[in-house]
Each structure stands twice: as structure tokens, then as C-alpha cells.
Amino acid sequence: MRDLPRLPLDADAFGERYGPWAVIAGASEGTGECYARQLAEMGINLMLVSRREEALEVLGKELAKEHGIEFRAYAQDLTEPDAGLKIVAAAAGLDVGLYISNAGADGFAAFFEDGTENAHRLVRMNITTLIDAANGFGKRLLARGKDGKGRGGIIVMASGAGLGGQPNLAMYSATKAFEINFAESLWAEYHERGIDVLGVAAPIMRTPTLLRMVPEGFDTSDTFDPADVTHNALAGLLAGEPIQIIPDGPGAEKQPQVEADRKARLIGFVEFNKTFTGG
């Protein structure tokens, strides 16, 4: 796998700001499991969400035994209507300081040959569920703060596919573009109000989902370790970054500058907006 240097991460500061509970939507394997392991190591309790409750229970019990955390397993298909609302309701009574939207990847298909059923499923998973969950948990993060500010964070695991269109990934690319712009907009609205939001334009990672999609014997040596990607996302959230773009694919050498330019654009619009609001 490709090397991705890990950013510094202050575990105590992270736990103080985003604990005591985190909710991970899409937690049974891959990047979701990596997030769960890294958060548990920092002593943060976990509500684990995915369709496979048995896998969540196995993971939760392992982490509870190893790190002494509490956990809840909640079975929910992220493509179902009202999935986001149900996740927020299931976390009632928990002091949630971090929500991670970690919807999985999808298979390759040409749009006209594929029809629209899969397209609508992706819209529900990557857009509708994210909207409802972010709004519900965001209100709770605002209420956790003091002196007019909130406290906590949201991570949106998008994809480099969201930076531009790609063949056979029309809907996946489009919904991941929504995720990136949605996360950046929330950062612009709430970063100065005490709530951190990070959108991650993730690279191709060696996850179980990828291995199920590619042909047997496919060379995965050019992929990234999901544990490195999730570690850096946690570090970036704490550092107050709005977006992370992991250099990958055509034009990779330009992506660090793209990331910097997008952040500068956001900051400019934040300042511009203050002229209208007086803030």
C-alpha cells in the first residue's frame, strides 16, 4: 500500500472536545471500523451503525473489552427513507460530541444501462441520510456549548470522485460532490461558533468493499491504508480544517494546492458574509 504520513493528534484534547460519545454511520468494516478502533483507543464511547448488527456487536464487544468503553450497536440501512432521523433518535440520551458520516462505496455502472433505482438509493444514502443526521446532531452540538457557541464535530467521508465527474460513477461522483460542498458550507457556518466540520475527499483505499468490487488478483499495491486516512481525518478535524484531499489519481500533484485554494475561498466567503450579517 501507498505511504501516507500520519499527522500529529492530541488524544486528550480530542477526547475533551468530541467525547464522550461518537456516532459512526457505516461502522462495520473498512474506514468505519478504523474510526471505531481509533476513537475507542482515545476512550470515546461508540454508537456503531450499519445494516449488520452482528458485526457491530462483535466489534463493539472487542473494543469495550480492550479499552473499557461503552458501546451501542444500532442496525440501520443508510439507504432507507428517514435513516438519518432514526439514527438521531436512537442516540437520544447520549452526550454525542462527534458524528461521522461514513457511507460506503458503490459498484461501477454506466448510468443509462443501470436505470434509476440505484441512483435514488445513492441519493438517499449520501444526501438525504446525511442531511437529516447532520441537522439533528448539529442542533445537539450547538446545545452542548456555552457563551453562545457549540462544541463538537462532524466528519463527512466523501471521495476524490466528488472533485469531478468520472465514467461509470456518475451518481456516486455527484453525491460525493454534494458531501464535499455540504461539509465545507457547514464549516463556514459553524467553525467560528464552536463546531468543527471536515469533508474528506478520500482516495482509493484497500478496504473490504474495494476487494469485493475488483476482479480476483487485482493489484491493490497503489491503494492507501484506511487506518492512515481515518487517523489524518481525526487530526484534521481537531486542527480545524474544512477539507482534506489525499493526493490520488490523475492530477494528484495539484491536489494539495486545490485543498489550500478551497480553504482560502471558504475563509473569503466567511468574511464576505459578515458584511451582511454584521457578525
The predicted model scores a pTM of 0.96
pLDDT of residue 249: 86
pLDDT digits (tens, 9 = 90+) for 111-163: 999 889 999 999 999 999 999 999 999 999 999 988 889 999 999 999 999 99
Residues 204, 207, 210, 214, Cα dihedral to 10°: 110
Number of domains in the chain: 1
pLDDT of residue 106: 66
Do the domain assignments include residue 279?
A: no
* Active site annotation includes 254: no
Cell for 67? 479499552
* Active site annotation includes 172: yes
**Residues of the chain with confidence (pLDDT) below 50:** none
The catalytic position among 35, 74, 176, 190 is: 176
3-class SS shares of the chain: helix, strand, coil, % to 5: 55, 15, 30
Domain that holds residue 235: 11-273
Do the domain assignments include residue 35?
A: yes
Which uninterrupted H or E stretch holds 153?
strand 152-157
In contact, 125 and 78? CB cutoff 8 Å: yes
The catalytic position among 35, 99, 172, 190 is: 172
Do the domain assignments include residue 255?
A: yes
In contact, 173 and 166? CB cutoff 8 Å: yes
Q: What is the CATH number of the domain that holds 46?
A: 3.40.50.720
Q: How far is CA 29 from CA 48, 55, 60, 222, in A?
A: 11, 8, 12, 20
pLDDT of residue 274: 87
